[in-house]
Chains A and B, each alone.
Chain A
Amino acid sequence: MGKQKPELPQGTLDMLMLKALSLGPMHGYGVGQRIGQLAEEMLKVEEGTLYPALYRIEQRGWIKSEWGVSENKRRARFYKLTRTGRKQLDVEERSGRIFHWPSARCCGRPEGREPWAD
């Protein structure tokens, strides 16, 4: 994979976020954690870049947000997948695009598919 700073293709990040949220509503920090589990490369990226992406897909209607209370009793903004978002995620997963992220540990690849050389 090389030493370059990982560039996140916009679409892939979007999909990762949808995937992360498909496991349940979460605040921004939590989304970042989950994406980090799904794709190790994400851990190296500045965390702040998550938010423009979140806002963007919120504008597209794939997720929606509301204020809530976190585990440690603080006010936080929670994001949740919408029906449109869920549909989008299904489409993307079936098309196989989500697997082009190298070293992604995304769940459920179809048999025998090994799109990256490593």
Chain B
Amino acid sequence: MNTNTRRALLGAVLAVVPALLVMKNNAVASPAPALLRFHLALSKSEPAANDTLASPKAIKLWFTETVKVAETGVQITGPDKKVVPTAAITMAAVAKSPAVAEIKETLKLGAYTVAWKTMADDGHPTKGTFVFTVGVKKAAQ
């Protein structure tokens, strides 16, 4: 192997090794990666996660940044794994308004999963799920 080839290989190693180390770090995961989120995230919802309540009339989602109706989606799945029909998402033209999806039927008792998706201005999709239960809240003892 001549000197130039050795130098070229050294250069390639110097370039590739940092990249591989970075990627390995990410594969192993930085501290508590589950806690790190994009700037756009769900800040509050109604019903709240793990809430127990009577059949809600709508799902309301508040995000950390303003989102657009066209870039936001909600789907509710019932205890029978069927999708609950909802109206198209609406949002009032007021700052910090929630995205609202009205529920078209009265929900039966059981656990419901809300899956939401939205998109930031940089085009990155953000999504999540939470669960609420339709039932009678147990009185605090």
Answer yes or no: are A and B bound together in one complex. no
